Structure 1
Amino acid sequence: MDTPKGSDAGFIVKYRQEYYDLSEFMHKHPGGINTLNGLNQADMTARFMKAPPHSDAAMYLMKEYKVKSEDPRIPMTKPRHQARRIDNGQDSQERSNESEDKNNNQLDESMEHLVDWSKAMLPQIANITKCYDEWVHKPVDRPLRLFGPWYLEMLTKTPWWLVPIFWIPVIIRFAWEDIHTSWNDKSQLACVTGYFLFGVLLWTFLEYTLHRWVFHIKLKCNSGPWICTFHFMIHGLHHKVPFDPMRLVFPPLPGAILATLIYYPLSYFLIQPRVVLSGALAGYLCYDMMHYYLHYGNPSFRHIVHMKRYHYQHHFTHQDLGYGISSPLWDVVFKTRIHLRKLKYQLRWS
């Protein structure tokens, strides 16, 4: 991987006639950091067009890294990676432009003028309801303030390590009594284990249903301001700013409220509901940690690499598919699975 010559040199690439600094994006790139090898201070247009077509969301995100033409980091000489001539004499740059037009991968016109990013975002959602669904699925990479008051804003930001610190004692507390009383009875212990695993399975179903039918509720241009604001608060903001590290896991307080609302009705129908709840919370904890790792981790195991690619496809290409995060099980059952193409090489993110 090319390294900048100076600490502030950035990772400058040329695409068509514009320059972009990808230094803050390299480790977030859904296609892996190794696919950017050799592109520092180079023209990436030809390689870009040889790659699988990029989605409209990806092209929109690209504008976040554009640098001004007078930026001193832009090379004054021609890039060292010159486009080769093709057999018919047509420059590969021109062929790339034609391919781009054909694939409809032009850089979208920005919609960010509709909101003021220097102010709290949540109160502004009511003003863009007619185009909210389109706007929220055009990702950006910039700081987002949800609320004006600092004490409310603080509650919306959660470091990943706070989630296991909060939930592991709760999981142990709910399961401990039943495990302790059945420890010397193998058959009873097997039942407790079975109920715990059922809770884990139950969580995967809740994860899918919440993600598909609540977080991705179908919005229309005439959807009211309250429904759009609610959607943005619970999930839309994650699609708008997918790389915000403080908003990748669910805050414990609203998580506890949601768990309580789900648990009490089900407790009337479940056998050993506390053990089932413990299993469901364990499944949730794995889900939240998995979600954070899929965005910021550098997996080497094939399955985790697959899930990272799978989740990025949900973000940038198929927002109406791929609702499973910890497992694609229910995507298979409900036929919302994303089929990924096979790769000839292993992707890396560091």
Structure 2
Amino acid sequence: MGSGKFPLISKKQLASHNTVDSAWVSLYNRKIYDITEFLDEHPGGPEIIMEHAGKDITKILADPDSHVHSESAYEMLDDGMLIGYLATDEEERELLSKHEGMEVTFDALDAERYDRIPAGADGMRTVDLTDFGEIPDDLLHLKTDASADYKKYKFLDLDKPLIRQVLFAHWTKEFYLDQIHRPRHYGKGSAQLFGNFLEPLSLTPWWVIPILWLPPNMYIFYLGYTHLNPFVFFSMWTIGLFAWTLIEYCLHRFLFHLDTYLPSNQLAFTIHFLMHGVHHYLPMDGMRLVMPPALFLLLATPIYKLVFAIFPYYIACAAFAGGHLGYIIYDLTHYAIHHAKLPAIYSNIKTSHLEHHYKNYKLAFGVTSTFWDRVFGTLCKPKDVYQKRA
């Protein structure tokens, strides 16, 4: 920590910040965090956080019936959201009560630096002080302080193109896998992968999926439906749809998470990062939550050829239409899990997938269903928290 001290804040003031425009929480009844800008980024949705705005969240963060949060969750709070300390009863009596109308002090900040900090609606000036001793230009409520994060972990500088850094680094496999599974929240749109003309190819809005893939799906559906008995058609279509759930599970578990068998070199790390690592590193990046069309074609082509080689043409159309629809549902569900409020019926699916990201990436591989996780014993249980490196 630099020379600046964080402000001392009263319980009354903490309790008053309980709206979507200004949401504060405390941890261990001591540290106070401004999570206002994090509300929309919270994997579980803003509603869950707002139940605890203005209150202490120590118990709920560790509650196994709700969601045992990983080390990364605590790190995110300290990386850019810490704004002060909750005054004890004694401190309120001895310190705050002696300064009528003044609940916060920045006694270690000089006047010039203090004046450069924008005042909030309540007149307070809050700042994220880092180990660098200087106030960042974009100083309010960054999800992850890129400079501080890089200084602490020596992994990736979020403010520079990522692929070049991965390709030319000198990491051990253990270090790489540990770091990409410590989620960061960039907070300024999408972090750059390439930093050049290739950048747009790495960004895929969710709406591209139905616009691009529903028309061919409907055409293949039409071919099968108009040339087969309805019972035969829908039987094969349902089988294809169900088969997708297994394909989804296997791709996620054995290809995207080829972690154990990943070669220990930077080229392998780069391919792994491009395919799935970047999603675990930046799980709330809304432009990298659905599969880029080029990657889908690469993965779907052998499956397409296999289905049409095994079955008669129109039966293959029925099966592939079902499986392809399953993929479309998968991608849209994946986006919704991270960025939309889902009906209660989807709560188990959402919880399972977020536990995969924030609790233990070695479990919970299903996205549209937990069925195969139950079959293969990979459901995430309350105590299944992945132990990260120190």
Contact 1:322 1:338 in 2 (8 A): yes
Task: Report runs of 4+ in structure 1 exceeding 6 Å deviation.
Answer: 74-77
For 1:227 and 1:300, the matched residues in 2 are separated by: 39
Contact 2:72 2:182 in 1 (8 A): yes
Deviations 1:166-220 (A, max 9, x none): 11111112221221123xxxxx221111111111112111101110011111248
Contact 1:196 1:278 in 2 (8 A): yes
Alignment map for 1:63-78 (pairs within 5 Å): 63-67=78-82
The two structures have a TM-score, normalised by structure 2, of 0.68
What is the CA-CA distance between 1:15 and the residue it aligns to? 3.3
| SS of residue paired to 1:12 | strand
For 2:246 and 2:78, the matched residues in 1 are separated by: 37
Deviations 1:271-306 (A, max 9, x none): 4222221111100011111111111111233x3011
Contact 1:12 1:20 in 2 (8 A): yes
RMSD, matched Cα: 3.0
What is the CA-CA distance between 1:234 and the residue it aligns to? 0.8
Contact 1:299 1:305 in 2 (8 A): yes
Alignment map for 1:1-350 (pairs within 5 Å): 2-3=18-19, 10-15=22-27, 18-30=31-43, 32-37=45-50, 40=53, 42=54, 44=56, 46-47=58-59, 51-52=63-64, 53-67=68-82, 111-126=152-167, 127-130=169-172, 131-142=175-186, 143-149=190-196, 151-182=197-228, 188-219=229-260, 223-271=264-312, 272-301=315-344, 303-339=345-381
For 1:118 and 1:308, the matched residues in 2 are separated by: 30
Contact 2:184 2:282 in 1 (8 A): yes
Contact 1:22 1:65 in 2 (8 A): no
For 1:322 and 1:74, the matched residues in 2 are separated by: 43
Which residue matches 1:91? Answer: none
Contact 2:45 2:339 in 1 (8 A): no
| SS of residue paired to 2:354 | helix
Gaps of 5+ in 2: 1-16, 85-105, 107-116, 125-148, 384-390
| SS of residue paired to 2:36 | coil
For 1:251 and 1:261, the matched residues in 2 are separated by: 17
Which residue matches 1:96? Answer: none
Contact 1:13 1:44 in 2 (8 A): yes
What is the CA-CA distance between 1:64 and the residue it aligns to? 3.7
For 1:74 and 1:136, the matched residues in 2 are separated by: 37
Name the amino acid aligned to 1:205. Answer: L
| SS of residue paired to 1:246 | coil
| SS of residue paired to 1:24 | helix
> Could you tell which deviates more after superposition, 123-132 or 208-217?
123-132
> Could you tell which deviates more after superposition, 43-52 or 241-250?
43-52
Name the amino acid aligned to 1:250. Answer: M
- Percent identity at matched positions? 29
Deviations 1:106-145 (A, max 9, x none): xx99755332222210121131531110110011110421
Deviations 1:70-98 (A, max 9, x none): 56559999xxxxxxxxxxxxxxxxxxxxx
Gaps of 5+ in 1: 78-107, 183-187, 342-350
The size of the alignment, in residue pairs, is 299
Which residue matches 2:145? Answer: none
For 1:50 and 1:224, the matched residues in 2 are separated by: 37
What is the CA-CA distance between 1:68 and the residue it aligns to? 5.7
Inter-CA distance 46–59: structure 2 relative to 1 (3 Å threshold): closer
For 2:382 and 2:31, the matched residues in 1 are separated by: 31
